[in-house]
Protein backbone atom coordinates (compact mmCIF):
# COMPACT_ATOMS: atom_id res chain seq x y z
CA UNK A 1 0.00 0.00 0.00
CA UNK A 2 1.20 3.51 -0.84
CA UNK A 3 2.17 4.93 2.61
CA UNK A 4 1.02 8.43 1.61
CA UNK A 5 -2.46 7.07 0.82
CA UNK A 6 -2.47 4.85 3.90
CA UNK A 7 -1.68 7.81 6.16
CA UNK A 8 -4.72 9.79 5.03
CA UNK A 9 -7.11 6.83 4.83
CA UNK A 10 -6.09 5.72 8.31
CA UNK A 11 -8.12 8.37 10.08
CA UNK A 12 -11.03 10.49 9.08
CA UNK A 13 -9.98 14.01 8.20
CA UNK A 14 -13.64 15.11 8.00
CA UNK A 15 -13.57 15.30 11.83
CA UNK A 16 -10.77 17.90 11.67
CA UNK A 17 -12.06 19.68 8.56
CA UNK A 18 -15.23 20.49 10.51
CA UNK A 19 -13.15 23.08 12.44
CA UNK A 20 -11.79 24.64 9.25
CA UNK A 21 -14.91 25.51 7.27
CA UNK A 22 -15.02 29.25 8.04
CA UNK A 23 -11.42 29.87 6.97
CA UNK A 24 -11.88 27.69 3.88
CA UNK A 25 -14.86 29.81 2.90
CA UNK A 26 -12.94 33.06 3.58
CA UNK A 27 -9.96 31.93 1.51
CA UNK A 28 -12.20 31.11 -1.44
CA UNK A 29 -14.02 34.46 -1.10
CA UNK A 30 -10.64 36.21 -1.37
CA UNK A 31 -9.83 34.59 -4.73
CA UNK A 32 -12.13 36.74 -6.89
CA UNK A 33 -13.92 33.76 -8.45
CA UNK A 34 -15.67 34.87 -11.64
CA UNK A 35 -17.36 32.07 -13.63
CA UNK A 36 -17.06 30.54 -16.11
CA UNK A 37 -14.04 29.03 -14.39
CA UNK A 38 -12.72 25.48 -14.26
CA UNK A 39 -10.99 24.79 -10.95
CA UNK A 40 -8.99 21.83 -9.67
CA UNK A 41 -8.93 21.45 -5.89
CA UNK A 42 -5.98 19.14 -5.29
CA UNK A 43 -5.77 17.25 -1.99
CA UNK A 44 -9.29 18.54 -1.49
CA UNK A 45 -10.28 16.36 1.46
CA UNK A 46 -14.06 16.45 1.90
CA UNK A 47 -14.38 19.83 0.23
CA UNK A 48 -13.60 22.61 2.70
CA UNK A 49 -12.62 24.83 -0.25
CA UNK A 50 -14.23 22.85 -3.09
CA UNK A 51 -17.81 23.42 -1.87
CA UNK A 52 -17.46 27.20 -1.51
CA UNK A 53 -15.80 27.35 -4.96
CA UNK A 54 -18.73 25.47 -6.49
CA UNK A 55 -21.26 27.67 -4.64
CA UNK A 56 -19.65 30.67 -6.36
CA UNK A 57 -20.38 29.02 -9.72
CA UNK A 58 -16.98 27.53 -10.59
CA UNK A 59 -16.86 24.14 -12.27
CA UNK A 60 -14.88 22.19 -9.70
CA UNK A 61 -13.00 18.90 -9.76
CA UNK A 62 -11.70 17.73 -6.39
CA UNK A 63 -8.87 15.22 -6.50
CA UNK A 64 -7.65 13.45 -3.38
CA UNK A 65 -5.60 10.35 -2.68
CA UNK A 66 -7.88 9.13 0.12
CA UNK A 67 -10.86 7.09 -1.05
CA UNK A 68 -12.83 7.79 2.15
CA UNK A 69 -12.46 11.56 1.73
CA UNK A 70 -13.48 11.43 -1.94
CA UNK A 71 -16.64 9.57 -0.87
CA UNK A 72 -17.31 12.11 1.91
CA UNK A 73 -16.81 14.99 -0.55
CA UNK A 74 -19.20 13.51 -3.10
CA UNK A 75 -21.77 13.02 -0.37
CA UNK A 76 -21.44 16.64 0.79
CA UNK A 77 -21.74 17.86 -2.83
CA UNK A 78 -24.90 15.77 -3.37
CA UNK A 79 -26.43 16.97 -0.08
CA UNK A 80 -25.72 20.56 -1.13
CA UNK A 81 -27.25 19.94 -4.57
CA UNK A 82 -24.02 21.02 -6.30
CA UNK A 83 -23.88 19.45 -9.76
CA UNK A 84 -20.86 21.52 -10.79
CA UNK A 85 -18.58 19.69 -8.31
CA UNK A 86 -17.18 16.16 -8.47
CA UNK A 87 -14.58 14.45 -6.35
CA UNK A 88 -12.31 11.71 -7.67
CA UNK A 89 -9.34 9.71 -6.48
CA UNK A 90 -5.91 10.70 -7.71
CA UNK A 91 -2.32 11.36 -6.70
CA UNK A 92 -0.86 14.88 -6.88
CA UNK A 93 2.50 13.35 -7.88
CA UNK A 94 1.01 11.99 -11.09
CA UNK A 95 -2.39 13.26 -12.22
CA UNK A 96 -3.11 10.38 -14.55
CA UNK A 97 -6.01 10.95 -16.90
CA UNK A 98 -5.97 14.72 -16.41
CA UNK A 99 -5.20 16.46 -19.69
CA UNK A 100 -2.71 19.31 -20.05
CA UNK A 101 -4.16 22.84 -19.66
CA UNK A 102 -7.44 21.58 -18.16
CA UNK A 103 -8.03 24.22 -15.49
CA UNK A 104 -8.12 27.99 -15.13
CA UNK A 105 -7.11 27.61 -11.51
CA UNK A 106 -5.47 24.89 -9.43
CA UNK A 107 -5.92 25.28 -5.69
CA UNK A 108 -4.30 23.14 -3.03
CA UNK A 109 -4.83 24.08 0.59
CA UNK A 110 -2.70 21.90 2.91
CA UNK A 111 -3.17 19.12 0.32
CA UNK A 112 -0.45 18.73 -2.33
CA UNK A 113 2.16 19.66 0.30
CA UNK A 114 1.66 16.17 1.75
CA UNK A 115 2.49 14.33 -1.49
CA UNK A 116 5.95 12.74 -1.34
CA UNK A 117 7.50 14.01 -4.59
CA UNK A 118 7.36 17.82 -4.47
CA UNK A 119 9.08 18.44 -7.82
CA UNK A 120 6.62 16.11 -9.58
CA UNK A 121 3.74 17.84 -7.78
CA UNK A 122 4.84 21.29 -8.98
CA UNK A 123 5.24 19.93 -12.53
CA UNK A 124 1.79 18.36 -12.49
CA UNK A 125 0.09 21.47 -11.13
CA UNK A 126 1.71 23.56 -13.88
CA UNK A 127 0.90 20.96 -16.55
CA UNK A 128 -2.83 20.79 -15.83
CA UNK A 129 -3.30 24.57 -15.41
CA UNK A 130 -3.88 26.68 -18.53
CA UNK A 131 -1.36 29.33 -19.61
CA UNK A 132 -2.67 32.58 -18.09
CA UNK A 133 -4.20 30.59 -15.20
CA UNK A 134 -3.33 30.62 -11.50
CA UNK A 135 -2.05 28.12 -8.97
CA UNK A 136 -2.83 28.81 -5.32
CA UNK A 137 -1.27 26.79 -2.51
CA UNK A 138 -1.68 26.93 1.25
CA UNK A 139 1.28 25.35 3.04
CA UNK A 140 2.14 25.00 6.72
CA UNK A 141 5.45 26.61 7.70
CA UNK A 142 8.27 24.69 9.41
CA UNK A 143 9.05 25.85 12.96
CA UNK A 144 6.26 28.41 12.89
CA UNK A 145 5.10 28.93 16.48
CA UNK A 146 1.38 28.63 15.69
CA UNK A 147 -0.95 25.67 16.03
CA UNK A 148 -0.68 23.19 13.14
CA UNK A 149 3.06 23.58 12.62
CA UNK A 150 3.52 22.89 16.32
CA UNK A 151 1.08 19.93 16.33
CA UNK A 152 3.06 18.41 13.47
CA UNK A 153 6.38 19.18 15.16
CA UNK A 154 5.33 17.65 18.49
CA UNK A 155 3.79 14.65 16.68
CA UNK A 156 7.00 14.11 14.67
CA UNK A 157 9.09 14.17 17.85
CA UNK A 158 7.19 11.09 19.10
CA UNK A 159 7.16 9.25 15.74
CA UNK A 160 10.03 7.05 14.45
CA UNK A 161 12.25 8.83 11.91
CA UNK A 162 10.90 8.68 8.34
CA UNK A 163 12.60 6.47 5.73
CA UNK A 164 15.77 7.74 4.11
CA UNK A 165 15.08 10.19 1.29
CA UNK A 166 11.74 11.29 2.75
CA UNK A 167 11.12 14.96 2.02
CA UNK A 168 9.19 16.67 4.80
CA UNK A 169 5.88 18.22 3.68
CA UNK A 170 6.86 21.26 5.74
CA UNK A 171 9.55 22.13 3.16
CA UNK A 172 6.66 23.51 1.06
CA UNK A 173 6.43 26.33 3.60
CA UNK A 174 9.86 27.72 2.65
CA UNK A 175 9.98 30.29 -0.14
CA UNK A 176 13.30 29.09 -1.62
CA UNK A 177 11.87 25.57 -2.05
CA UNK A 178 8.67 26.87 -3.60
CA UNK A 179 10.65 28.93 -6.14
CA UNK A 180 12.99 26.01 -6.90
CA UNK A 181 10.15 23.51 -7.39
CA UNK A 182 8.06 25.73 -9.66
CA UNK A 183 11.29 26.87 -11.33
CA UNK A 184 12.02 23.29 -12.39
CA UNK A 185 8.48 23.15 -13.73
CA UNK A 186 9.34 26.12 -15.97
CA UNK A 187 7.90 29.01 -13.94
CA UNK A 188 10.17 32.05 -13.46
CA UNK A 189 10.54 33.37 -9.90
CA UNK A 190 8.85 36.69 -10.71
CA UNK A 191 5.61 34.81 -11.40
CA UNK A 192 5.55 33.43 -7.86
CA UNK A 193 4.45 35.36 -4.80
CA UNK A 194 4.09 34.31 -1.19
CA UNK A 195 2.40 35.90 1.78
CA UNK A 196 1.68 34.74 5.32
CA UNK A 197 -2.00 34.19 6.01
CA UNK A 198 -4.08 32.71 8.83
CA UNK A 199 -6.45 29.75 9.07
CA UNK A 200 -8.59 29.48 12.18
CA UNK A 201 -9.70 26.26 13.87
CA UNK A 202 -13.11 27.01 15.32
CA UNK A 203 -15.55 25.07 17.47
CA UNK A 204 -18.26 26.87 19.40
CA UNK A 205 -18.89 23.84 21.66
CA UNK A 206 -15.65 21.83 21.94
CA UNK A 207 -12.79 23.02 24.11
CA UNK A 208 -9.10 22.61 23.18
CA UNK A 209 -8.72 19.25 24.97
CA UNK A 210 -11.65 17.85 22.97
CA UNK A 211 -10.15 19.20 19.76
CA UNK A 212 -6.87 17.41 20.54
CA UNK A 213 -8.82 14.22 21.33
CA UNK A 214 -10.21 14.40 17.80
CA UNK A 215 -6.72 14.91 16.33
CA UNK A 216 -5.63 11.85 18.30
CA UNK A 217 -8.54 9.79 17.00
CA UNK A 218 -8.78 10.99 13.40
CA UNK A 219 -5.70 12.94 12.13
CA UNK A 220 -3.24 10.49 10.51
CA UNK A 221 0.05 12.14 11.59
CA UNK A 222 -1.15 12.51 15.21
CA UNK A 223 -2.60 8.97 15.23
CA UNK A 224 0.81 7.63 14.20
CA UNK A 225 2.52 9.66 16.90
CA UNK A 226 0.19 8.28 19.59
CA UNK A 227 0.74 4.70 18.35
CA UNK A 228 4.52 5.15 18.60
CA UNK A 229 4.28 6.94 21.95
CA UNK A 230 2.14 4.15 23.38
CA UNK A 231 4.90 1.62 22.60
CA UNK A 232 7.35 3.75 24.62
CA UNK A 233 4.92 4.52 27.46
CA UNK A 234 4.90 8.18 26.38
CA UNK A 235 1.23 8.54 25.46
CA UNK A 236 0.39 10.81 28.41
CA UNK A 237 3.43 13.01 27.75
CA UNK A 238 2.40 13.48 24.12
CA UNK A 239 -1.20 14.17 25.10
CA UNK A 240 -0.21 16.79 27.70
CA UNK A 241 2.09 18.56 25.26
CA UNK A 242 -0.63 18.80 22.62
CA UNK A 243 -3.37 19.83 25.07
CA UNK A 244 -1.08 22.49 26.61
CA UNK A 245 -0.30 23.79 23.14
CA UNK A 246 -3.99 24.00 22.17
CA UNK A 247 -4.97 25.63 25.47
CA UNK A 248 -2.16 28.17 25.24
CA UNK A 249 -3.21 29.19 21.72
CA UNK A 250 -6.96 29.16 22.28
CA UNK A 251 -8.57 32.58 21.96
CA UNK A 252 -12.14 31.56 22.78
CA UNK A 253 -13.35 32.76 26.17
CA UNK A 254 -16.60 30.79 26.31
CA UNK A 255 -15.62 27.11 26.51
CA UNK A 256 -15.18 26.69 22.78
CA UNK A 257 -12.12 26.80 20.58
CA UNK A 258 -10.74 29.45 18.27
CA UNK A 259 -7.11 28.86 17.40
CA UNK A 260 -5.17 30.69 14.70
CA UNK A 261 -2.63 28.92 12.51
CA UNK A 262 -0.25 30.78 10.20
CA UNK A 263 0.41 29.39 6.74
CA UNK A 264 2.26 30.34 3.57
CA UNK A 265 -0.12 31.36 0.81
CA UNK A 266 1.47 30.89 -2.58
CA UNK A 267 0.24 32.37 -5.85
CA UNK A 268 1.74 31.27 -9.14
CA UNK A 269 0.63 33.26 -12.19
CA UNK A 270 1.13 31.22 -15.35
Ligand X SMILES: C[S@@+](CC[C@H](N)C(=O)[O-])C[C@H]1O[C@@H](n2cnc3c(N)ncnc32)[C@H](O)[C@@H]1O
Q: What is the signed CA dihedral for 92, 198, 46, 94, rounded to 10 degrees?
A: 0
H, E, C per residue of 216-252: HHHCHHHHHHHHHHHHCCCHHHHHHHHHHHHHHHECC
Phi, psi values for residue 261, rounded to 5°:
-135, 125
Tell the smallest beta-carbon distance from residue 138 to ligand X (Å). Answer: 7
Tell the smallest beta-carbon distance from residue 250 to ligand X (Å). Answer: 20
Q: Which is nearer to ligand X, 65 or 245 (CB)?
A: 65
Q: Which is nearer to ligand X, 166 or 232 (CB)?
A: 166
Tell the smallest beta-carbon distance from residue 189 to ligand X (Å). Answer: 25
Q: Which is nearer to ligand X, 13 or 147 (CB)?
A: 13
Note the residues at the interface with ligand X (CB under 6 A): 4, 8, 13, 17, 20, 24, 43-45, 48-49, 64-66, 69, 91-93, 109-111, 114-115
Helix 235-249 × helix 147-157 angle, to 10°: 170
Nearest position to ligand X, beta carbon = 45
Q: Which is nearer to ligand X, 62 or 133 (CB)?
A: 62
Residue 107 in contact with residue 115, Cβ under 8 Å?
A: no
Tell the smallest beta-carbon distance from residue 236 to ligand X (Å). Answer: 26
Tell the smallest beta-carbon distance from residue 133 to ligand X (Å). Answer: 19
Burial class (CB in 10 A: 0-12, 13-18, 19+), 251: exposed
Q: Which is nearer to ligand X, 111 or 133 (CB)?
A: 111
Which element (helix H / strand E) includes 263?
strand 257-269
Amino acid sequence: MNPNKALWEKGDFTAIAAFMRESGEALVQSLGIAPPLRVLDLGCGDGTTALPLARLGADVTGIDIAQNLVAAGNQRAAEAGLRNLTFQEGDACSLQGVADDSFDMTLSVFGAMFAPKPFDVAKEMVRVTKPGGRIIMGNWIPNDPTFVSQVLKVSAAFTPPPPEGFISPMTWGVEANIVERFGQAGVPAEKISTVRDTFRFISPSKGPAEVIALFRQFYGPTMNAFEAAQKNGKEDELNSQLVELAKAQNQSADGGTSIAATFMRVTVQL
